[in-house]
Structure 1
Amino acid sequence: MTDPVLWQQEGHVLRLVMNRPETRNALGSVEELDHFVSLLRRAQADRALRAVVLTGAGQAFAAGGNVKDMREKNGLFGGSPREMRDTYRRTVQTLAQALRNLEVPVIAAVNGPAIGQGCGLACLADIRIAAASAKFAVSFLKLGLVPGDGGAYILPRLIGQARAAQMFFTGEVIDAPTARDWGLVAKVVADDVLLDEAMAMARAIAAQPPDVLRLTKRLLREGERAPYETVLELSAAFQAMAQHTEDHREAIDAFFEKRPGEFAGR
C-alpha cells in the first residue's frame, strides 16, 4: 500500500501530498491520520525546512471523513461515545494541532474540492491558493455531525462570524472566486499552474532568513489571540533577537550591495 501522505522535499521546501485519490483524499483511518501527524512532527524537527506546500493527489484536495466508515461504525466512528471522543482527540485533533503549530509557513494548494475536514486542513495553512476548479464546504450538519476538527474556531477568524455561520448552518458549497472574495483564499489560478504558483511562493518564502521567518509566523499566531500589549512585548523581544543574528547582518549587507541575501539560519 502506498503512503497516505507523500513527503516530497526540494531543498528548503517540503511538499506534502495527500495520496488517496481513490477516496478523494479522505484521511479516514487512525493509521492514516497517525502517519500524517508523524510527517508533521518530522517537519517540525527539521531545521532545514523553511516552507511547506500541502496539496492533494488527483482531482480533490481532501474530501473529509470516510462516510462508509461512519455508516459501518468503523475506525474513527467505532466504539462508545467516550472511546470515540478519545480517538478524535488523539487523531483528528492532534493532526489539526500539529499542522497549526508548525513553525514554518504552510501554503495550501487547493487543487479541487476541500470538504469537511478537508476544508479544515486548508484553513489551518497560513496561505491558501486555489485552483479555478476548487470548491469549499463545511458540510458536517448534512451528515448529522458537528465540526470536530476545530473549524468552529478557525473559519470565523478567516471569513468572519456571519459567513462562517452561513457555511456551517447551510452546508453550502462555495466556488473558488467566492472563496477569494470572502478572504478564504489569497488567489485563484488556473488548474494547470496551481502547483507551480504554490511552489514559486514557497521558494520566495524559503529565501527569507529562516529563524526570523519562524519568529514572524509566531508573532502572527500570537496576534490572533493575545492582547495588543502582549504582542508589542513579544515584538520587542523578537526584534532584539533578530538584530543579533548573522542573517540580519547579511540582509543589511545584501541591501547595500544590491544583491539577494544568502541566509544560513544563524
Structure 2
Amino acid sequence: MSEPHTLYDTIGHVAVITLNRPKAKNAFSPEMITLWREYLERARLDDTIRVIVVTGKGDTFCSGGDIRDMAEGKLKSWDMKRFLWDGVHRIVLTLEDLDKPVIAAINGAAMGAGMDMAIMCDLRVCSDKAKLAESYIMMGLVPGDGGAYFLPRLVGTSKALELLLTGDVMTPQEALSLGIVNRVVPHDQLMAETMKLAEKIANKPPLAVRMMKRAVYQGVTSTLRAHLDYISSQLSLLSETKDHHEAAMSFLEKRKPEFSGE
C-alpha cells in the first residue's frame, strides 16, 4: 500500500506537514492538494498546535505542477480552473486566513508553484543545497496560485517582475539577500534549525503570537489610522489575558513563564 501524498505529524505544539511524492519531485497531485488543505485545517482547529511547519520529503521541497501532465495535455482549460479553484486556491486562502505562524522548511528545489507555496508561508528556513525559481515563464504560463500577488510584497514590483519574466534560478544566498528566505542553514541541520525556531515561537504566549501575525498582515493592507484603531483593540484584549498576567508575574519573580493560551 502506497503512502499518502501528504503526511501529518505533531511534535509538541508544532504540526509538521510533509509533501510526500519524492519520486515525482513532490509535484502537485489532487491527493496532495486535498490532504495539504485538510491538514492545515486540522492544525488550525487544534488548540494544542501553535506553529505549523511545511517541508518536502526527499531532495525537493516542491516542483509545483507535474510537467508530465502538462506535456500530455491532461488538464484542459476547465479542468485547470477547477483544479485551481477547488484545490490550490483553497490552500492559498487557508494560509492567508490562518492566524498560526507557518514556517516553510525548504529542503531542496522550490520551483514555480513550489516556490510560491514557500513564499505564502510566514517564515522560510532554507537548506544551503536548495534552489528557487519562479519558473512559470519557462512553461509558457503565469502563476495560477497567487505568486504574482505575494512576490512583489516580499521583494518589490521591479524585482518580482525580473524573477517572473526571466525564470532565473536563485541560490539560497541570493534568496536570502532579497528577503525571500529568512535563514539559510546547512542541509543536514535544516529540520533541527526549523524546529528550534518553531519551538521558540510556540513557547511564546499563543494568543499574542496569533494577534501579532494578524496585526502585521492587517498593517500591510490598511491605512495608519485604521491600523492604530485595530491594534489598540487587540492590545486591550491581550492586556486582560491570563498569559499577560503570567508574563508580568514571571518577570517579577525571575522565573520561566508557563503560558496556557488563555
Moved over 3 A (4+): none
2:17 is matched by which residue type in structure 1? L
Q: CA deviation at 1:99?
A: 2.1
Which residue of structure 2 lines up, in the alignment, with residue 16 of structure 1?
Answer: 17
How far does the alpha carbon of each residue in 1:119-165 deviate from its partner, in whole angstroms, 9 at most, with x for none?
00100111111111111101101101110000001001111111111
Superposition pairs of residues 96-245 of structure 1, within 5 angstroms: 96-245=92-241
The worse-fitting range, judged by mean Cα deviation, of 225-234 and 246-255 is: 225-234
Partners of 2:196 and 2:133 in 1: CA distance: 27
1:258 is matched by which residue type in structure 2? K
Structure 1 length-normalised TM? 0.95
Partners of 1:257 and 1:194 in 2: CA distance: 36
Which residue of structure 2 lines up, in the alignment, with residue 63 of structure 1?
Answer: 63
Secondary structure of the corresponding residue to residue 15 of structure 2: strand
Partners of 2:228 and 2:89 in 1: CA distance: 30
Secondary structure of the corresponding residue to residue 22 of structure 1: helix
The worse-fitting range, judged by mean Cα deviation, of 256-265 and 83-92 is: 83-92
Identity fraction in percent: 37
**Which structure 1 segments of 5+ residues have no match?**
none
- The CA RMSD measured in Å over matched residues stands at 1.1
Which residue of structure 1 lines up, in the alignment, with residue 5 of structure 2?
Answer: 4
2:219 is matched by which residue type in structure 1? G
How far does the alpha carbon of each residue in 1:22-50 deviate from its partner, in whole angstroms, 9 at most, with x for none?
111111x2232111111111111111111
2:45 is matched by which residue type in structure 1? A
Q: CA deviation at 1:88?
A: 1.3
Structure 2 length-normalised TM? 0.97
Asked if the contact 2:120/2:150 (under 8 Å) is kept, the reply is yes
1:72 is matched by which residue type in structure 2? E
Secondary structure of the corresponding residue to residue 199 of structure 1: helix
**Which structure 2 segments of 5+ residues have no match?**
none
How far does the alpha carbon of each residue in 1:190-212 deviate from its partner, in whole angstroms, 9 at most, with x for none?
00111100000000000011112
1:62 is matched by which residue type in structure 2? C
How far does the alpha carbon of each residue in 1:212-257 deviate from its partner, in whole angstroms, 9 at most, with x for none?
2111111111112111111111100000000010010000011112
Q: CA deviation at 1:83?
A: 4.2
